[in-house]
Amino acid sequence: MSFVLSDEMLGTFVPILIYWLYSGIYVLLERFENYRFHTRKEEEEKNLVSKKTVVKGVLLQQFTQAVVSIILFNVTGDASGAATDSNASLIVLARQFITAMVALDTWQYFMHRYLHYNKFLYKHIHSQHHRLVVPYAYGALYNHPLEGLLIDTVGGALSFLLSGMSPRTSIYFFSFAIIKAVDDHCGLWLPGNLFQVFFNNNTAYHDVHHQLHGNKYNFSQPFFVVWDKILGTYMPYTLEKREGGGFEARPIKNYMNNKDN
C-alpha cells in the first residue's frame, strides 16, 4: 500500500519545511561579514530577544497557520483541484499568482501600517517583531501570535480565496512567498540574489524599516512597494559599503530633511 500526501497537506507543510531549510542556508552564510548589513556585535547588542525565544515564537505561528490552512482547505476543498491545475493555462496560473501577490501585499501593508500608528497595538503586539532590530532569516515569522494570525494567516487565506488558486497551485505560491519573506529578513546583501535584483521590496528595503529612522516607513511586504509610494510612506535609501566590511542602507539625507520640515 502506497502512502500519498494530498495537495492540501503539501500546501500546508511544504512552506514550513522550506522556511527552515532556506533559513538554514542563510545561517551558514552569516559568517561572511562582507555581505552583512550589521555586524555580529550589533546583532548581540541591539536585539532584545534570544534566538531560542525566536524559534519558539516562529514554531507557534507556524502551528497556528497549519491549523487554519487545514480548516480552509477542508472548507473550500475541491477533489478536481489537481485536474484543474493540469488543464489550466500558464496565463491563468500567472493571473492567479499576480492576484494573490496583490491581495497579500495590500492586506499586509494596511494591517502592518495600522500596527505601527496605533500606539497601543504597537506596544502590546507589533513591538515583539521589532525586538529584532538586526533581522535575521529565521526571525521572519517571529511575531506576536495575534499579529501572526491577523497579518500572515488571514492575509494568506485571503490571497488564496481571491485568486481562485487550487491547493496544488498554493503549494508553489506560499513556498515562493515564504522564501521571499525569509530573504527580506536575512540581513545579507549577496551578489546574484535574484530577489534583491528584481524586487525593490528586498532585504535592504526592509532593513531600513527595522531601524529607528525607518519605523514609520517602508511598510510594504513582501513583494511590491506600490502602497508605500502612493501613500507617502516610502523612504528611499542608498546602499553603501560599511567601513570594516559589509553594507549599510542609509536614508537619503535630502529626503529626510524635507520630511522633517
For the question of whether the overall pTM of this predicted structure is more than 0.85, the answer is yes
pLDDT of residue 51: 95
143: left (phi over 0), alpha (psi -120 to 50) or beta: beta
pLDDT confidence of 135, banded at 50, 70, 90? very high
- The residues, any chain, with a CB within 8 Å of residue 162's CB and separated by 6 or more, are 99, 100, 103
**Residue 238: closest CA among 229, 226, 247, 225:** 247
pLDDT confidence of 82, banded at 50, 70, 90? very low
Whether pLDDT at 168 is above 80: yes
Whether pLDDT at 225 is above 50: yes
- Rounded (10°) CA dihedral 146, 148, 152, 154: -30
Per DSSP bridges, beta strands 247-251 and 237-241 are antiparallel
Cell of 182: 525569509
pLDDT of residue 83: 41
Parse the chain into domains and list their residue ranges: 7-183
Mean pLDDT throughout 179-204?
94
pLDDT confidence of 74, banded at 50, 70, 90? confident
Percent of the chain beyond pLDDT 70? 91
Give the type of residue at 135.
Answer: P
What's the chain's length in residues?
A: 261
Is 164 in a helix, a strand, or coil? coil
**Residue 7: closest CA among 172, 161, 171, 179:** 171
